[in-house]
Amino acid sequence: MACDGRNMKAVVFGAGNIGRGFLGQLFSQSGYEIVFIELAREIIDRLNKDHAYPIRIVGEKKWTYSVEGVRAIPAEDADGVSREIATADIIATAVGVNALPVVAATIAEALQRRFDAANMAELNVIICENIIHSGEHLKNLVLQHLPDRHHHLIEEKIGWVATVVSRMVPVVTEEMRRENPAQIAVEPYCILPVDKPAFKGPLPEIEGFLFSDNLPALEERKLFTHNAGHALCAYFGYQKAYTYIYEAIADREIRRKTLTGLSESGRALIKKHAFNPKEHRAHIEDILRRFANVALGDTVARVANDPIRKLGRRDRFIGSALLALEYGVKPVYLLDGILAALRYDNPEDEKAVELQRLLSDEGIAHVLETVCRLDPAEPLFDVISQKYKTARRSRKART
């Protein structure tokens, strides 16, 4: 039975930063009971004790929103998960890409029980994962665990809805955990673009959902604007020994370089997706304003974490530079960001340590081929290689 007098139910896989800090608020303020599927026992116990948790909204104005009507069950309780999904009005995932195969198996078992019980009502799965084409990705993972007789129902009755998650959620402090392990802090921004054509049945009335007819364009803009800008700021900030993102973006040189790099990717995005130039410029300025939110306390180390992933061919740096070149834009400051990422040598970041070992032992050409997935015949390959070697000679000369 729904808590707090609510008569709609959302089942959310993952009670982490995005699950509690974003989806929980959206569903709660729209009148849903929320059932979290979670691994952390401490979080499960506290949610089931209070049937609520506080979200601290941190910015120029600070306030607290109480997410009401909450329950949680352990992720390993397959029967419990299946029972909840059998009567769910909507499902969501916020578990991280690497955990999706496990979640897919659980969803498949629950959907099979739902179909076998002759429940043919449409059901939408809202996928809040940092991966392009997340709807198709999760659907295909689920199909691997379902008998053929149900495959047509997956196509007809289940909506696999990709999203663009841009809300920033800082790391929960130890002090906050001691006070209440379920509480979380977030920035004020609370809009979730969702793939409108992917929905099955009537569109849900959920406050904060932005229904888009062209989500791939927004996905690409997020990756090459928000994610790229965050990374530019972080790697440039690391070079100047800043601890926090708000410190880095307050540096006039870093702000200028970040803004110019995003202008390069922006000109390409405008050409490809026909974004309004003034609106896109305002979008960039708004992102930089959000980076400057001191109350978030976001660190350079967190944002710069795992430079190997961030230097992937389809990720924020190489992907931005390739897009710029494709649309006739010279990626000057994007290249500076790539070089800064290549020089990121934080000893506490195991991927940064691995990257520096690869550069030292195998060389820049090897990294460009294996990490960045660039072909030696591509112009970007030679440009990055030459700039990296020149910068390295310059550093050696200074020392």
Provide the residue ranges of all domains of the chain, joining segments of one domain with +: 3-213, 217-398
User: What pLDDT is recorded for position 4?
Assistant: 54
Give the separation between CA 47 and CA 44, rounded to whole angstroms. 5
Which region, left, alpha or beta, applies to residue 373 given φ > 0 means left and ψ of -120 to 50 means alpha? Answer: left
Closest CA to 201 of 155, 151, 152, 159: 159
Helices and strands counted in the chain (H then E): 20, 11
Which region, left, alpha or beta, applies to residue 198 given φ > 0 means left and ψ of -120 to 50 means alpha? Answer: alpha
Closest CA to 115 of 144, 82, 80, 153: 153
User: What pLDDT is recorded for position 253?
Assistant: 98
CA angle 240, 241, 244 (to 5 degrees): 105
CB 180 within 8 A of CB 209: no
Q: Do domains 3-213 and 217-398 have the same CATH topology?
A: no
Give the separation between CA 312 and CA 150, rounded to whole angstroms. 36
What class, spelled out in words, does domain 217-398 have in CATH? mainly alpha
Task: Tell me if the domain spanning 3-213 has CATH number 1.10.10.10.
Answer: no
Rounded to 5 degrees, φ, ψ at 372 are -85, -15
Kindly state the DSSP code that residue 222 receives in the 8-state scheme. Answer: I
Give the side-chain half-sphere CA count within 13 A for 153: 19
User: What pLDDT is recorded for position 2?
Assistant: 47
Closest CA to 313 of 100, 79, 132, 74: 132
What one-character-per-residue DSSP string does 274-314 give? ---HHHHHHHHHHHHHHHT-GGG--BHHHHH--HHHHTSTT
CA angle 268, 317, 125 (to 5 degrees): 85
SS3 214: coil
CB 212 within 8 A of CB 194: yes
CB 344 within 8 A of CB 304: yes
User: What pLDDT is recorded for position 1?
Assistant: 40
- Tens-digit pLDDT string for the chain (399 aa): 445 556 899 999 999 999 999 999 999 999 999 999 999 999 999 999 999 999 999 887 888 999 999 999 999 998 999 999 988 999 999 999 889 999 999 999 999 988 888 888 999 999 999 887 899 999 999 999 998 888 999 999 999 999 999 998 877 777 878 888 999 999 999 999 999 999 999 999 999 999 999 999 999 999 999 999 999 999 999 999 999 999 999 999 999 999 999 999 999 999 999 999 999 999 999 999 999 999 888 999 999 999 999 999 999 999 999 999 999 999 999 999 999 999 999 999 999 999 999 999 999 999 999 999 999 999 999 999 999 999 887 777 776
Closest CA to 91 of 23, 3, 39: 23
Displacement of CA 324 from its chain's centroid (Å): 22
User: What pLDDT is recorded for position 6?
Assistant: 60
Would you call 23 exposed, middle or buried from its count of C-beta atoms within 10 A (0-12, 13-18, 19+)? buried
SS3 207: coil
Would you call 205 exposed, middle or buried from its count of C-beta atoms within 10 A (0-12, 13-18, 19+)? exposed
CB 2 within 8 A of CB 33: yes
What's the pTM?
0.85
